[in-house]
């Protein structure tokens, strides 16, 4: 089941005040019109009239949900299904497990070195690996709206107010509440099954929703990490 989106027309640009932007019925376009100040008496271009402001809710077209390779963003505004969210979590767990398995293999190879150098290198690798996983989960969600699993599935976490990524601090808080919700018999996460906006406790805590994205292009892991830092 999908949520109806607003019809095509000129709407207030969500990325800038004082101008209109054309919504084609499914996505924002690059057509923009700057509104003249009311005090000048200037008229608007022919055929351009301010449409009713887009109401809040999951059907609102978002201009910034999934970061693509060219720095642009695209989202449908349609809420992600529970199955899509579960698939993203499974992918994140599998990918993290692969990284940790590789770490174990490298540490095993380092065991042939003298105890001093081996311990030092092993410690640095462990710190670097966990830092990478934290960046992918917290900063990826905060800056791009996506962990790598969400990126592969094509969904993103955005603010219910701004339709933009929620920021790293909110992403950290979201993760903490999600962990708490899992320990309460999973109720905090299962809440998305009956919530009208498919929000778990962790989403409600930071005012976020999870939506599908329009971009068909997927980044490789290195490109994804670069995009995280570029978004900062």
- Could you read off the pLDDT of 60-88 as tens digits, one per residue? 333 333 444 333 345 556 889 999 999 99
The percentage of residues in the chain with a pLDDT greater than 70, rounded to a whole number, is 73
CB neighbours of residue 107 within 10 Å: 15
Mapping DSSP to helix (H, G, I), strand (E, B) and coil, where does residue 60 land? Answer: coil
- The answer to whether residues 166 and 208 touch, using CB atoms and an 8 Å cutoff, is yes
- Could you read off the pLDDT of 11-28 as tens digits, one per residue? 777 766 667 777 777 777
CB neighbours of residue 132 within 10 Å: 14
d(C-alpha 71, C-alpha 50), whole Å: 28
DSSP per residue, 95-125? HHHHHHHHHHHHHHHHTTS-HHHHHHHHHHH
Looking at mean pLDDT, say which of 24-33, 47-56, 148-157, 206-215 comes out highest. 148-157
**pTM above threshold 0.85:** no
Contacts of 84 (CB under 8 A, 6+ apart): 153, 154, 155, 212
The percentage of residues in the chain with a pLDDT greater than 90, rounded to a whole number, is 35
Helices 115-134 and 82-110 cross at an angle (nearest 10°) of 170
């Amino acid at each position: 089941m999908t949520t109806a989106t607003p019809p095509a027309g000129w709407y207030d640009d969500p990325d800038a005040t004082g101008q209109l932007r054309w919504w084609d019925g499914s996505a924002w376009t690059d057509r923009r019109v700057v509104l003249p100040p009311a005090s000048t008496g200037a008229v608007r271009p022919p055929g351009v009239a301010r449409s009713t402001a887009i109401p809040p809710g999951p059907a609102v077209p978002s201009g910034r949900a999934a970061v693509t390779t060219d720095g642009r963003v695209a989202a449908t505004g349609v809420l992600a299904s529970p199955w899509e969210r579960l698939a993203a979590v499974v992918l994140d767990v599998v990918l993290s497990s692969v990284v940790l398995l590789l770490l174990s293999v490298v540490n095993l190879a380092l065991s042939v070195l003298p105890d001093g150098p081996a311990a030092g290198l092993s410690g640095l690798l462990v710190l670097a690996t966990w830092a990478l996983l934290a960046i992918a989960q917290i900063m990826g969600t905060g800056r791009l709206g996506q962990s790598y699993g969400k990126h592969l599935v094509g969904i993103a976490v955005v603010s219910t107010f701004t339709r933009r990524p929620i920021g790293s601090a909110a992403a950290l808080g979201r993760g903490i509440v999600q962990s708490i919700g899992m320990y309460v018999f999973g109720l905090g996460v299962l809440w998305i099954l009956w919530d009208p906006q498919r929000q778990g406790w962790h989403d409600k805590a930071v005012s976020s929703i999870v939506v599908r994205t329009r971009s068909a292009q997927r980044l490789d892991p290195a490109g994804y990490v670069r995009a995280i830092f570029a978004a900062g």
